[in-house]
């Protein structure tokens, strides 16, 4: 078979597990879309706009490990690049492919549509370089295979997004056939000298320490470090906590798990154990203003062991070329048990507050909503938490073994969850039960992708928290800008269904109505069910109120005098 640039790309997509790629058509990418389709190796899934296309790919990458989005030049790509920034922030390898001007126009001085009206079309590639770990412009079909392989390799190795733009007259241009994918995706092995020195340094650091603890961060997921973390906790016997953003990255049913470490809004008893630990081992952690609750807990200022995806810092030394998983497993072989921190936590009797069932006919509250959602979680559930009060309710839930939580706390783009849930469900449903908690403000940014869930018969369950505005912002700093136009959120589903959709839009104003709605939602296997939950605008998590004050204080620090 004669390969073309587009078919080469299709083959590589299939070889790295991209069974579905996401797309929005544009005249710069139509031939490319044809080539990807004719290759027959990867299915094309369409989105309502390019921002949602980028986030759908990000969601697919959460389910399948890698993803691709195909957009048109400038007007498509610049929307998608916001989602690519999010994929970068969340360590998700998404391949963004943009159609681009015909090679005959390069250097011609001609002005093209979908540009800012200058004859220099290179600015998109330059901007993409800032948001990705590799970016290539294909203007010669002979170079295309090497360029495509290079960006794929970078995405796989670094677990970060990459960018390709393909001149619109080259997508069906002949090029070489693809060689074995192994040569593209083979991992770089850990350096054994660096590994053994790093482990020795860690063992020396832990010697005579009184209360070692283990903190799990988001970056262990992209380097498949979760099982190794469980092994290390078994060997150490110490207390283990996740961060708000890494909830579910360590099994909450594990006997060493004590809850969420989130500065002053940590789970009961957790902050004391971790802030008094003299030997925190931090696996893949990211300490930012949100995850430290406005810099109210700064563990990195103490002597700790920081284990990043590809390097370790311990005892004042930095060891590069050490894979997180290899280091954690090697350390697990050498540590001695020290369960002091865990015993101290157990002795405190601290635990997450139990949510009591409300009177079924009472007005629905966030607490009752959380209680009922927690009650439906099972080992196959994936719960998406959108930026907002949803974070705080979701993080406070206790998960059954196997249940997963997806959030976007580093990038924090409201509206991310609707398209990301769509992409995740394309990659994981019906094996995974996909549930989302989404605030009304966030939903208004990207609601269209519910129509794509209907189009693809995806059984997603959306809890729409209608509290009449931007509550998380209200708790940080209030003003008229936090009020929004109310929608008939449940009613929208009928509009998205048009004649043949299987989506369902339900309203719940009491605990009883919510119970009934959940039964209907769980039974609806042919499409999404949105349950619009009527909540009082003052009803929110107490942790959000506290966290909001701390973040507001951090935001309003006065400028340091010269
Ligand atoms: C793209 C983007 N634009 C603005 C913001 C700032 N922001 N963060 N959270 C919000 C409000 C979220 O409101 P909701 O989704 O209704 O959430 P809750 O009311 O807190 O449940 C805003 C406006 C943001 N995080 N992302
Ligand atoms: Mg809201």
Dist CA 495 CA 150 (whole Å)? 44
Q: What tokens does 562 get?
A: 């010269």
Q: Which residues are documented as binding site? A: 440, 467, 469
Question: Domain 366-550, CATH 3.20.20.70 — does that match?
Answer: no
Q: Quote the ligand 2 centre to 474 CA distance (angstroms).
A: 10
Of 428, 536, 445, residue with least CA distance to 487: 445
pLDDT 10s digits, 232-254: 999 999 999 999 999 999 999 99
Q: Compute the distance from residue 225 Cα to the ligand 1 centre, in Å.
A: 31
DSSP class of residue 438 equals E
For the chain, which residues make up each domain, given as ranges?
Answer: 5-185, 192-348, 366-550
Centroid of ligand 1 to alpha carbon of 441 (angstroms): 6
Geometric angle at alpha carbon 95, from 91 and 96, rounded to 5°:
115
| pLDDT value for 89 | 98
Look at the chain and count its residues.
Answer: 562
C-alpha closest to that of 541 among 472, 484, 441, 442: 472
Rounded percentage of the chain residues whose pLDDT exceeds 70 = 100
As given in the structure block, the two tokens for residue 60 are 């697919």
* pLDDT value for 1: 85
For ligand 1, the distance from its centroid to the CA atom of residue 446, given in whole angstroms, is 12
Closest-lying ligand 1 atom to the alpha carbon of residue 442: 15
In this predicted structure, what is the pLDDT of residue 300? Answer: 83
Please report which ligand is nearest the Cα atom of 482: 1
pLDDT at 128: 98
Residue 52 pLDDT greater than 90, yes or no? yes
Cα separation, 447 vs 84, in Å, equals 19
Q: What confidence tens digit (pLDDT) does each residue in 471-518 have?
A: 999 999 999 999 999 999 999 999 999 999 999 999 999 999 999 999
Q: What is the pLDDT of residue 475?
A: 93
Which two structure tokens, joined as six digits, stand for 469?
């505005």
150 CA to middle of ligand 2, Å?
43
391 touches 243 (CB < 8 A): no
Among the atoms of ligand 1, which is closest to the Cα of residue 388? 20
466 membership: H or E segment, kind and range:
strand 461-466
Contact call for residues 368 and 357 (beta carbons, < 8 A) = yes
Q: What is the pLDDT of residue 419?
A: 99
Atom nearest to 439 CA in ligand 1: 15
In 164-182, which positions are buried (b, 16+ CB within 10 angstroms) versus exposed (e)? bbbbbbbbbbebeebeebe
Contacts of 490 (CB under 8 A, 6+ apart): 464, 505, 506, 507, 530, 531, 532
Mean local confidence (pLDDT), 125-142: 98
- Tell which one of 445, 466, 472, 480 to mutate to probe ligand 1, the residue whose CB is within 8 A of the most ligand atoms: 472
- When pLDDT is averaged across residues 192-203 and rounded to a whole number, the result is 98
- The best mutation among 470, 489, 535 to test binding of ligand 1, ranked by most ligand atoms within 8 Å of the C-beta, falls on 470
Closest Cα to atom 12, ligand 1: which residue? Answer: 470
As a whole number, mean pLDDT of residues 252-273 equals 96
Structure tokens at 529: 């069910």
For 315, counting Cβ atoms within 10 Å of its Cβ (0-12 exposed, 13-18 middle, 19+ buried), the class is middle
Residue 470 CA: nearest ligand 1 atom is 13
CA distance 300 to 282: 9
Q: What is the pLDDT of residues 303-324, one digit of tens each?
A: 899 999 999 999 999 999 999 9
Mean pLDDT across the chain: 97
Tell me which ligand sits closest to the C-alpha of residue 471. 1
User: Ligand 1 within 6 A of 440 CB?
Assistant: yes
pLDDT over 90 at 392, yes or no: yes
4 lines ligand 1 (CB under 6 A): no
Query: Structure tokens of 148?
Result: 């495509």
Please, how many CA atoms are within 13 Å of residue 438, restricted to the half-sphere of its CB? 32
- For the segment 406-452, what is each residue's pLDDT rounded down to a tens digit? 999 999 999 999 999 999 999 999 999 999 999 999 999 999 999 99
User: Has domain 5-185 been given CATH number 3.40.50.300?
Assistant: no
Any atom of ligand 1 within 6 Å of the Cβ of 470: yes
Report the 10 Å Cβ neighbour count for 193. 11
Cβ of 413 less than 6 Å from ligand 1: yes
Interval 323-332: pLDDT, tens: 999 999 999 9
- Tokens 């860690």 belong to residue: 202
- Structure confidence at residue 529 as a pLDDT band (50, 70, 90): very high
Q: Do domains 5-185 and 192-348 have the same CATH topology?
A: yes
Ligand 1 centre distance from Cα of residue 376 (Å) = 26
- What is the model's pLDDT at position 40? 82
User: Atom of ligand 1 at shortest distance to CA of 386?
Assistant: 15
Closest residue by Cα to residue 355 from 396, 386, 387? 396
- For residue 409, which phi and psi values (nearest 5 degrees)? -80, -15
**Is 472 a pocket residue for ligand 1 (Cβ < 6 Å)?**
yes
Q: Which ligand is nearest to the CA of 390?
A: 1
Count CB-CB contacts under 10 A for residue 205: 19
Structure tokens at 41: 């190796």
Q: Which of 52, 366, 388, 483 to mutate for ligand 1's pocket (most ligand atoms within 8 Å of CB)?
A: 388
Please check whether residue 47 is in contact with residue 22, taking contact to mean a CB–CB distance below 8 angstroms: yes
Alpha-carbon gap, residue 364 to 323, rounded angstroms: 48
**Once rounded to an integer, what is the mean pLDDT over residues 163-174?**
98
pLDDT digits (tens, 9 = 90+) for 286-303: 999 999 999 988 888 888
CATH 3.40.50.1220 fits 192-348, yes or no: yes
Model-wide pTM > 0.90: yes
Whether residue 39 is predicted with pLDDT greater than 80 in this model: the reply is no
**Alpha-carbon gap, residue 552 to 548, rounded angstroms:** 6
DSSP assignment of 257-316 equals: EEEE-BTBTPSTTHHHHHHT-SEEEEES----TTTTTTTT--GGGSS-EEE-SSEEEETT
**Tokens describing residue 391:** 């974070």
Distance (angstroms) between ligand 2 centre and the Cα of 535 equals 9
Please give the Cα distance from 423 to 16 (Å, whole number).
17
Any atom of ligand 1 within 6 Å of the Cβ of 389: yes
CB neighbourhood size of 359 (10 A): 10
**Two tokens, residue 134:** 């590799």
Distances (CA, A) of 539 to 250, 368, 435, 477, 544: 30, 11, 22, 16, 11
pLDDT of residue 561: 84
* Residues contributing to the annotated binding site for Mg(2+): 440, 467, 469
Residue owning the nearest CA to atom 6 of ligand 1: 414
């Amino acid at each position: 078979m004669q390969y073309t640039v587009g078919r080469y790309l299709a083959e590589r997509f299939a070889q790295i597990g991209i069974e579905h790629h996401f797309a929005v058509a544009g005249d710069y990418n139509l031939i490319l879309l044809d080539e990807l389709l004719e290759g027959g190796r990867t299915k094309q899934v369409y989105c309502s706009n390019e921002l949602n296309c980028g986030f759908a790919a990000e969601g697919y990458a959460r389910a399948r490990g890698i993803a691709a989005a195909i957009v048109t030049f400038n007007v498509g790509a610049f929307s998608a690049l916001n989602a690519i920034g999010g994929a970068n922030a969340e360590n998700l390898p998404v391949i963004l492919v943009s159609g681009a001007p015909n090679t005959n126009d390069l250097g011609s001085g001609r002005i093209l549509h979908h540009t800012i009206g200058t004859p220099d079309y290179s600015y998109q590639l330059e901007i993409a370089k800032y948001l990705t770990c590799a970016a290539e412009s294909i203007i010669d079909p002979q170079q295309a295979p090497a360029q495509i392989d290079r960006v794929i390799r970078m995405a796989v190795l670094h677990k970060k997004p990459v960018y390709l733009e393909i001149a619109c007259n080259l997508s069906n241009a002949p090029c070489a056939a693809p060689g074995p994918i192994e040569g593209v995706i083979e991992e770089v092995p850990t350096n054994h000298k660096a590994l053994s020195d790093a482990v020795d340094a860690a063992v020396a650091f832990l010697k005579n320490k009184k209360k070692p603890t283990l903190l799990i961060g988001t970056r262990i997921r992209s380097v498949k470090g979760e099982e190794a973390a469980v092994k290390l906790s078994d060997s150490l016997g110490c207390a283990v906590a996740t961060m708000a953003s890494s909830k579910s990255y360590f099994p909450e049913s594990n006997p060493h798990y004590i809850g969420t470490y989130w500065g002053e809004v940590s789970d009961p008893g957790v902050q004391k154990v971790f802030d008094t630990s003299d030997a925190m081992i931090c696996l893949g952690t990211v300490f930012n203003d949100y995850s430290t609750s406005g810099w109210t807990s700064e563990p990195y200022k103490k002597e700790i062991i920081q284990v990043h995806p590809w390097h370790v810092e311990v005892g004042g030394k930095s060891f590069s070329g050490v894979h997180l998983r290899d280091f954690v497993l090697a350390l697990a072989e050498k540590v001695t048990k020290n369960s002091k921190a865990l015993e101290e936590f157990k002795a405190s009797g601290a635990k997450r507050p139990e949510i009591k069932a409300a009177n079924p006919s009472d007005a629905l509250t966030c607490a009752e909503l959380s209680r009922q959602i927690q009650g439906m979680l099972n080992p196959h559930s994936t719960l998406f938490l959108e930026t907002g009060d949803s974070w705080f309710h979701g993080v406070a839930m206790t998960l059954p073994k196997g249940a997963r939580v997806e959030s976007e706390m580093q990038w924090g783009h409201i509206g991310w969850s609707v398209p990301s849930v769509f992409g995740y469900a394309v990659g994981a449903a019906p094996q995974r039960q996909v549930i989302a908690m989404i605030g009304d403000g966030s939903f208004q940014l990207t609601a269209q992708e519910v129509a794509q869930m209907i189009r693809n018969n995806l059984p997603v369950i959306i809890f729409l928290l209608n509290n009449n505005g931007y509550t998380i912002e209200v708790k940080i700093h209030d003003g008229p800008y936090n009020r929004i136009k109310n929608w008939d959120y449940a009613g929208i589903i009928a509009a998205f269904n048009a004649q043949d959709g299987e989506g369902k839009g339900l309203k719940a104003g009491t605990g009883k109505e919510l119970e009934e709605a959940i039964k209907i939602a769980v039974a609806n296997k042919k499409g999404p069910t949105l349950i619009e939950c009527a909540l009082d605008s003052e009803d929110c998590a107490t942790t959000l109120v506290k966290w909001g004050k701390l973040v507001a204080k951090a935001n309003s620090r006065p400028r340091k005098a010269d």
